């Protein structure tokens, strides 16, 4: 991995049951060593595949655990050391964003980026010396160009996007929730997940139909020094 501020990683999921029933064929192949992806045009035997190069790529047999260790670990570690960071998953509905970010409990290797980040942060806190931490979380949804607080008292209320000369862009009245453990983080993200806008699509019967941003706000206070604030938005 290079030293660029923004890195782009692609992950390929296997064919789902609907695609298999339709007789769909895999048209993507990867060169993992060179971080290259190749897309073939069906039926175009004489046409070379289109080639794309990324900062990292993961094929259908690779796990979220491997991806986290190679890609996300250093970013989350940086937040505990005083740097802001963002992990942003994007793609069309049914492409696997929620699977990568939220994950599944079993098998353990496919636990998502977000719960792994929880564990990473609290393990770092336990190992820190002469340092105090305040960990807070927020969870918002962007649906039909409206912002909602998934952890607020009124999850239907539309919130406003504002800009502050020092804080930068922020969401006014977005609630912050203090968390003390991985378990508390998991409980509030489950609470927010239940409040998301979900609907059926041909690509995904449980499509979230929205974008969401779960942010961990980390305040670090070294003994005898000033407090510093850092964030890690986890977006999909």
**CA–CA distance, 55 with 60 (Å, rounded to integer):** 17
- Tell me the per-residue pLDDT of 47-83, one tens digit each, with 9 for 90 and over: 999 999 999 999 999 999 999 999 999 999 998 888 8
**CA–CA distance, 73 with 53 (Å, rounded to integer):** 22
**CA–CA distance, 126 with 113 (Å, rounded to integer):** 20
Would you list which residues are annotated within the binding site? 91-98
The band of 42, judged by pLDDT with boundaries at 50, 70 and 90, is confident
Whether 203 has a pLDDT exceeding 50, the answer reads: no
Mean per-residue pLDDT over the chain, rounded: 87
- pLDDT at 166 (0 to 100): 82
Whether 99 has a pLDDT exceeding 50, the answer reads: yes
Query: Does CATH place domain 130-223 in 3.40.850.10?
Result: yes
Mean pLDDT, residues 2-29 taken together: 89
- pLDDT at 222 (0 to 100): 77
The band of 209, judged by pLDDT with boundaries at 50, 70 and 90, is low
The band of 205, judged by pLDDT with boundaries at 50, 70 and 90, is very low
Q: Where are the domains of the chain?
A: 1-62, 63-128, 130-223
- pLDDT at 184 (0 to 100): 95
Whether 91 has a pLDDT exceeding 50, the answer reads: yes
Whether 1 has a pLDDT exceeding 50, the answer reads: no
Q: Which two tokens stand for residue 1?
A: 């991995």
**CA–CA distance, 92 with 90 (Å, rounded to integer):** 7
DSSP, res 221: E
Q: Which residue has the tokens 């409206």?
A: 146
Would you list which residues are annotated within the binding site for ATP? 91-98
Q: Which two tokens stand for residue 162?
A: 């504002």
């Amino acid at each position: 991995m290079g030293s660029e501020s923004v890195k782009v990683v692609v992950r390929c999921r296997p064919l789902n049951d609907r695609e298999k029933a339709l007789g769909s064929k895999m048209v993507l192949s990867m060169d993992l060593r060179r971080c290259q992806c190749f897309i073939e045009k069906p039926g175009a035997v004489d046409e070379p595949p289109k080639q794309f190069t990324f900062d990292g790529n993961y094929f259908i047999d690779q796990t979220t655990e491997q991806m986290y260790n190679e890609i996300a670990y250093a970013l989350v570690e940086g937040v505990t050391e005083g740097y802001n960071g963002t992990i942003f998953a994007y793609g069309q509905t049914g492409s696997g964003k929620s699977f990568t970010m939220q994950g599944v409990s079993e098998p353990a290797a496919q636990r998502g980026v977000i719960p792994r980040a929880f564990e990473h942060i609290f393990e770092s806190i336990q190992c820190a010396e002469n340092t105090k931490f305040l960990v807070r979380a927020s969870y918002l949804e962007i649906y039909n160009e409206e912002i909602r607080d998934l952890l607020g008292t009124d999850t239907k209320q539309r919130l406003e996007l504002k800009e502050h000369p020092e804080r930068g862009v922020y969401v006014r009245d977005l609630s912050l929730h203090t968390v003390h453990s991985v378990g508390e983080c998991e409980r509030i993200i489950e609470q927010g997940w239940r409040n998301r806008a979900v609907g059926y699509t041909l690509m995904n019967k449980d499509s979230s139909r929205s974008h969401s941003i779960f942010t961990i706000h980390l305040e670090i206070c070294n003994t005898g020094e000033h407090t510093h604030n850092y964030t890690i938005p986890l977006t999909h």
